[in-house]
Amino acid sequence: MSTTRPYSPGDRGPESGDGGASGAPGGGGLAAPSGGRQARRLSFDGESGVVPLARDFARQALHAWGWLPAASADRRAAAEDVLLVVSELVTNACLHAEGPDELRIACDNKVLRVEVSDRGAGQPAPRTPHRAGRPGGHGMFIVQRLCLDWGVVRTPGVTGKTVWAELGAPA
C-alpha cells in the first residue's frame, strides 16, 4: 500500500533522541531496548559502496535480534525481505537523491522498521502501471509489495526526507 502518511497508524514517528549509536562502517551500536524495541543507526558520511554496506549492517542487526540464522524457511524469507527492502531504499537514495545520509533500523516483537534519510527533494512512488518485463523502476513496487506500510517524512525547513518501510516480524 502506498501512503502519504508520515507514519503508520499508531506510530509515534521516527526514533526520537539518540535511540541508537551512530554507525561507523559496520559498527552501528545496538540501542538499549525500550519496551522491547531495539534500534541501530548507520551514518553514510564519506562512505562509498553504500548498498553493500547497508545490507551488511542490516544483516548484523538481524543476527543480533535473533532473525538470523533462521530456524525455518519462513523466518529466512522474512530476513531476506528485510535485506531486499534495505537495498531498494538505499539504492533509490543513490539514484534519485544525492545519496543516503543515514540508515536506521528498529525492531520490536511485531514490526521491523527501516528508515533511509537523504537530501533529495523527490517523492518516491511505485511506477504505475508497473511493467514487470521492463528493466528499472521496480524498487518502490518491491517495497510496496513486501511491506506492511511505507511512507515519507519531511521536516519543514530541512532539505531532504526520510523514506520508511515496515515489515512484519516472523512468527
Per-residue model confidence as pLDDT tens digits over 74-129: 999 999 999 999 999 999 999 999 999 999 999 998 999 999 999 998 887 766 66
Q: In b/e form, how buried is each residue of 23-58, taking b as 16+ CB within 10 angstroms? A: beeeebeebeeeeebbbbbbbbeeeeebbebbbbbb
pTM: 0.78
Separation between Cα atoms, residue 75 and residue 77, nearest integer Å: 5
Residue 104 is classified by DSSP as: E
How many Å apart are CA 38 and CA 30, to the nearest integer?
7
pLDDT confidence tier of residue 161, bands split at 50, 70 and 90: very high
Distance separating the N- and C-terminal Cα atoms of the chain: 22
Place of cell 528499472: 136
Cα 165 off chain centre by: 6
